[in-house]
Amino acid sequence: MYMQSITYRPIEEADSAFLFDVYASAQQEELSLSGWPQRLQEGFLRNQFEAERMFLAQQFSHADLRIVLYQGEPIGRLYLDIKDTKIEILDIALLPEYRNRGIGTELLRSILEEAEERNKPVHIHVLRRSPSVRLYYRLGFYRIADNGTSWLLKWEPPS
């Protein structure tokens, strides 16, 4: 449905503002419950965004960091760590106006197709109260660990 119009490109330094917008939009609902003033929320988000960037650079220096494009326009980010034994989805996030339209499902299906071709399982950490948990279960993921606020989910290629 959407996949003919979905492409990727590597992240570039000029993408920083866009990536912050994607990050902030993904955190906004939870952060809005804090009751913090808008200025404090934005400062917190900027600090968290920078901390995440440093963490990814240190812990996942060889990760495949992509901008998701829909009809050539940036709409999200996809961070994958492709290892010899598994594919780990580090992050998948779309701007709010592109959520709940089937695009995320199509992105995940393409990752699962790639994993099946490589005969590798796929892992992802998901906040346990995230609405996306239902999607992961529907696509065949199952829980293998409980980390308190998040779950580690796994998908395995058919044998």
Q: Domain of 143: which CATH number? A: 3.40.630.30
Total domains present in the chain: 1
Domain of 84 in residue numbering reads as 3-155
Residue 86's pLDDT is 97
Query: Which residues of the chain have a pLDDT value below 50?
Result: none
Report the distance separating Cα 69 and Cα 58, nearest Å. 26
Residue 50's pLDDT is 95
pTM score, whole prediction = 0.89
Report the distance separating Cα 84 and Cα 124, nearest Å. 16
Report the distance separating Cα 23 and Cα 92, nearest Å. 10
Report the distance separating Cα 75 and Cα 80, nearest Å. 17
